[in-house]
Structure 1
């Protein structure tokens, strides 16, 4: 019954027995359930880890103390919902990786007008095609805009495209990096978009640059990890575009509207700080962290030093391990 919430069969038996008859130590539970005391101890450890028993109630022959079942179950369900959301985003990112793979090999396949994949090379070609797609848009443009202050260099051209789309009644939804809030030109542009009627949010990190137009056509870079690779692919294959839009929607739900302050959790970390911690735990260099967060290398180095000091860690690997132990990040985030 409770296995769907992550409890093992034995732990469920022990938990239900405790609900039926509060009290009783490990020895009595083992006798009542026909289990070994070792099995009972393991079940109590699991129940404590799942916050259904109070911390410290798993010692030898101590009587377990239940957390209020309504509170405990609510927390367990919330934990499962968060895990489902994380897994859903992983699935969508896997689909995005497949789209990248298809685009990288599109040049080696026979060209066909009906292939649904169009390969572009060079910044001028990409920008020209993007203008054409924007001009043909009828009702919605969704986009990821990673990069920090450097994207402000292209603002004059983008202003015309964005204002024209809004005038035509197109819904613009754009997600930038949190770091633009600290850059006057970039933040000013995002605020201008918002005042025109566009919907603007920020996130601590983004998978890559991406545009999805009318949920029927999308443009993504061929190699998002190579800043010098000026090539992109335009995709109109229904299933791929749908996967890209679903990824956008997943990030949109958890991003912060521009007019609101970036949230800070009970542990004192902002979303951007937590993302930096995940990258640290993966062993990423300051240069990689800077690129992913859209900040300068100097800022990335400062953030890394502050996190290491806060965790009293001597290495990035140790920082990741201690962050997991404190519950600041999940172990899966460091894979």
Structure 2
């Protein structure tokens, strides 16, 4: 097994095993242990040194010490796991081509049914791992253990990630403001909708996954995986429509161009207020007090010269107070 992971021959792996079990060793000492020729032991140690599995002992370059197995092997295991994931995605892609070429062509495989919560979570993870251009995610209650917030690794690859969260989720305090802020720092574009018609996860406009929940939101017992089709086009258009209607989630006032001067908390409170959250829910999200939230809203009403919160929201929307060049108000 070790030789497979490290890409070593059985004898090279045996040499590394032996070196790990001692403080240090010379080629002659290893040769004596295994009955090898000294030159052969030296060549084996040279291979291990070249692969970062061994190094010369400080103060005596005739002796070799093993590199820490955890430091070496964990990185190689992670690399091998990534290779296996990529291979799995390639197998899925080949399977799609195979089925499309079979009887009935593409129309027979527009929708697949995925059974079981674990299978649904794994498919979401695979879709995120394979994303190359864009992820679009409608998040509504009930919360799933995976697939609500976007995988940071996708954004590190330059994948654009847009998420719309249903307001009732924020009412419940999960995800918290800090969790949402961290997702935004990582590059996620996030908006809030009063209500969403369904939960859907779309990747690269090529696949969409729609979880199907059991009674009383007991969890995603199954899901529909939608392939390229008019149905996928409709789901994508639905997301874009909801995106245009949803409220930006503002975390910083620095990128705001319109409206009165506001600090970050004013902008955050106004943003959350426009989504319909109660003052108490806003206070909970921002880890503040109810009195502070109400005082700041009163101040914004005075600045806007309005008498009600409805008028404040109308004016803020009409004059685009929270509009930014970058979604969420975090300068690039």
TM-score (norm 2): 0.41
Q: Say which structure is richer in helix.
A: 1
Larger Rg: 2
TM-score (norm 1): 0.41
